Structures are given as structure tokens and as C-alpha cells.
A and B are shown apart, each in its own frame.
Chain A
Amino acid sequence: MKWLASIGLGGLVLAFFAAITSLAIGWTYLSTQSQIELAERRAEARQLMEIFPEDTHDNELVDDTFILEAETSLLGLRQERQGYRVRQAERVVGVILPATARDGYSGDIRTLVGVRSDGSVAGVRVVAHKETPGLGDKVDLRKSPWILGFNDRSLDNPALSQWSVSKDGGAFDQFTGATVTPRAVILATRRALEYAELNRATLFETPADHP
């Protein structure tokens, strides 16, 4: 029965190491947890701050959120995501809406669209995409300033029919070698603006009971 004893011993040693490694992971998890939450919040806040800089609002954007259901019409969301309210002296001066372009060149392009209360664009940022490096990825601000072309535009500037790439007779440039990606982003932005227009009353209301 020697083999039985050696299995038993092996099992014990394995269990011992499983316990030790689990403890090490658990301890690291507990001691980094708060730092990780902080890092996530900071990354989120930095992204929002790019659209509505510090001096345009006096609330904590990361905390002032509302839920947008998946499949909300016009936004193209695949799953529930958060929108953000931008307040100045309690008044809602803008919102940041998540939008998803499902017609990217390779997969979804997820964006954040900042809309001011007068219906104009405060800024658009691409948060996640899988577009071709060097061609379609110019929608990313780190690669090209193209996305800044949306700033201060609105549904009547340019006219609704002009919200497209210049190849389709629109007012926005495409990139050399990539038309599908910018077209998808432009249309997603337009739809987000339309959503903001349709839901103006609920998005920009200032709840009286808000502290």
C-alpha cells in the first residue's frame, strides 16, 4: 500500500501549495482593491474631462450618472451603459452619452458623445474600436485630430443631409484608405444628437430635489 501513501502525501503537498498561493492572491487582492477602484475612476474621469473640461462644470461627472438601457433606440448600445450629466450651478448644461456604431470596418466602435444643452457637440471620443491600425484608427484622438471636427457642430450645422463623409456628399472628411470607419462614427454621432434632441426634456431636466 505504499503507492496509496505516496498519493496521499502528494495530495497533501498540493493542497498545501493551493492554500499558500490562494492566500497570496487574496492578500494582494485586498490590499490593491481600493487603489484599483481609484485608478478605474481616474481613467473614467479623465476621459469625461476631455469632453467637458474642468471649467465648464462644477459637479463630479463620475458620480452624476444615469442608466441607458441596452438597445436604446438611436444609441446602438449592446448592453446597458452609463450616461453622465454635466452641471453648472445645479443646472444641467450638458450630457455625455455613450453610443455604439455597429457598422465599423471590423466590429463595433464605442464612443462617448458630449452634447451641450443647446444641442451642439461638446466633443466626441472613441473609447474602444478594432479598426485597422494606420488607416481606420485615425478616429482615435491619439492618432489624428480628425475627431475634433465634431466640436460645436449640431444637427443643423451642417444640415442633416450633410452629416456624412465628403465622398457621400457630406461635410466631414474621410481618411485616405478608410471611408467606412469615419462614416460609421459620423452617423453614430448624428444619431446620438438626434437621441438628445428627442429626449431633451428628460436629459436636461434639473430635478428639484437634487442636493
Chain B
Amino acid sequence: MNQPSYSQLTVNGLWKNNPALVQLLGLCPLLAVTASTVNALGLAAATLFVLMVSNTAVSLIRNVVSDTIRLPVFVMIIAAAVTITELLMQAYSYELYQILGIFLPLITTNCIILGRADAFARKNPLPAAIYDGFIMGMGFGLVLVLLGGIRELLGTGALFADMQLLFGSDAAQWRWEIFSVDYPFLVAILPPGAFLVTGCLIALKNQIDLSLQRRTRAGTGLESVGSKRVRVTGSVSEASSG
């Protein structure tokens, strides 16, 4: 397999192969905890950390573990990384730990992490694997925070409430009231809002891709090539397990 360059990795993680918007991995926590920016940020940080730790470990052992037992080994590594993250969060950010609740241990079952371990980290040297973990985590995290922000804004009319849970008591003042209404757009905070906003974000991304494509291919009349999968909203260039 060719070594992908760092700029390719960056484009893949943040846009072309974005774990949340294109691969649609990790939807369960994505939809459940994005009712506010602070929750989204907390889960994004936890996922990023776990992803980097697991990619590092998997890349280090890639020549030691045979193909037949690689999956159980990966799962053990991921579960350990998640448990450690959970303990650390409980110790140093207790309130956020309480808010994220069950979604913290559920990171173990987030397909992004096993997907990146199996599709990338086990075939690539350490620096590339760490960078891939970082940039995929960022791609997932950015979507989480964007979703959280949009839903919080629509549902409460304010942004960045309760930031003190993450950044200490000084951040309590960060709440930024943008508009004030008697009846906020409640559905944005409720679970259906998560689906609606995610859907809109995916549509927006596809629209941008489409117009970019039109601009570059204007006149050539080429159809886009690449495999389409049912659970995937764009062309996936690199196989990953869901």
C-alpha cells in the first residue's frame, strides 16, 4: 500500500472521508450528546484521545500480531484506552463525566476507532498512524461541535452555556445569548433535531462537493466514479468497517 501523504490524510479526515458526515460512523454518540456545545466538545475530546491512543498502540504492534487474532487484540486495546479515559475524566472533570454518562464507555463500540485501527493503523508506521488518529478525531470532533452549536443555538437561543464544566469556573461567563424567545425551537434539542441537523449538514457537504465538481469538470462531461454504499453518503476511497 502506498504511503498517503499528510496533506492527503488531512483532506481525508476533515472533509473527503469525514468519519461523521461521509462514513457515518459513530452516529449513536453523535446524535445523543450533541444537545449542547459543551457536551459535544467533551465527547469530541474523549474520542480524539482514544483514537490517537488506539492508533498508536495498533501501529506499534502491527508486525507482532497475526491477522487471525488482530480484531480481539484491537478491541482489548480500545477498551483499555476508553476505560482509562473514563477514569481520568471522572477524576479531573467530574461534572462532565456525569453528563456524558453512558456515552463515554460506549466510545469502545464507536466504529471509527476500530475502523481506523483496522483500515489504517495496522498498515502504516507510527507517525502516520498517530496523525491519522488525530485528524480523524478532529474531523469527527468538528462535526460534533458544529452540531452541538447549531442545536444549542436553535433550541435555547444561546451558545457556550455551562462551559465551566470543561474549562473551570472562569468559563461560566462564556454563555453568549444571541436571541431570546419565549418558545425556543425545542425540537432542535430533542432527539429528532439531531437527525434533522445531521441530515442538513450532510446535504450541505454534498452540495458543496457537487458544485466544486461541476466547476472543475465543466465541459469534460465526466461522470463521477467511485463505489457508492448504502450506509455511506459519498464515495469512500478506502475500505473501513462500520
Contact = CB atoms under 8 A, between A and B. Distances in A.
Contact of B184 (A25, A29, A39, A134): A134
B38 to A, nearest CB: 12
Interface stretch (B1-9, B44-52, B75-83, B204-212): B75-83
B83 A25 contact: yes
Contacts of A43: 94-95, 98
Contacts of A132: 186, 190
B91 A17 contact: no
Interface stretch (B14-22, B23-31, B61-69, B214-222): B61-69
A41 B166 CA distance: 18
Nearest to A42: B94
Interface stretch (A6-14, A57-65, A89-97): A6-14
Contact of A36 (B64, B90, B190): B90
A115 B232 CA distance: 57
Contacts of B77: 17, 21
Interface string A23-58: 011001100100110011011000000000000000
A118 B186 CA distance: 42
User: What band does the interface of chain B fall in when counting residues whose beta carbon is under 8 Å from A?
Assistant: 20 to 34
Contact of A24 (B84, B95, B182, B183): B84
B155 interface: yes
Chain A interface helix/strand/loop/mixed? helix
B87 A13 contact: no
A176 B186 CA distance: 13
B182 A176 contact: yes
B94 A40 contact: yes
B95 A29 contact: no
Interface of B: 35, 64-66, 68-69, 72-73, 76-77, 79-80, 83-84, 87-88, 90-92, 94-95, 98, 155-156, 162, 182-184, 186, 189-190
Interface of A: 6, 9-10, 13-14, 17-18, 21-22, 24-25, 28-29, 32, 35-36, 39-40, 42-43, 132-135, 142, 176
Given A28-B88, A39-B94, A133-B186, 19 more contacts: A6-B66, A10-B66, A10-B68, A13-B73, A17-B77, A21-B76, A21-B77, A24-B80, A32-B90, A32-B91, A35-B91, A35-B92, A36-B91, A39-B92, A43-B98, A132-B186, A133-B155, A176-B182, A176-B183
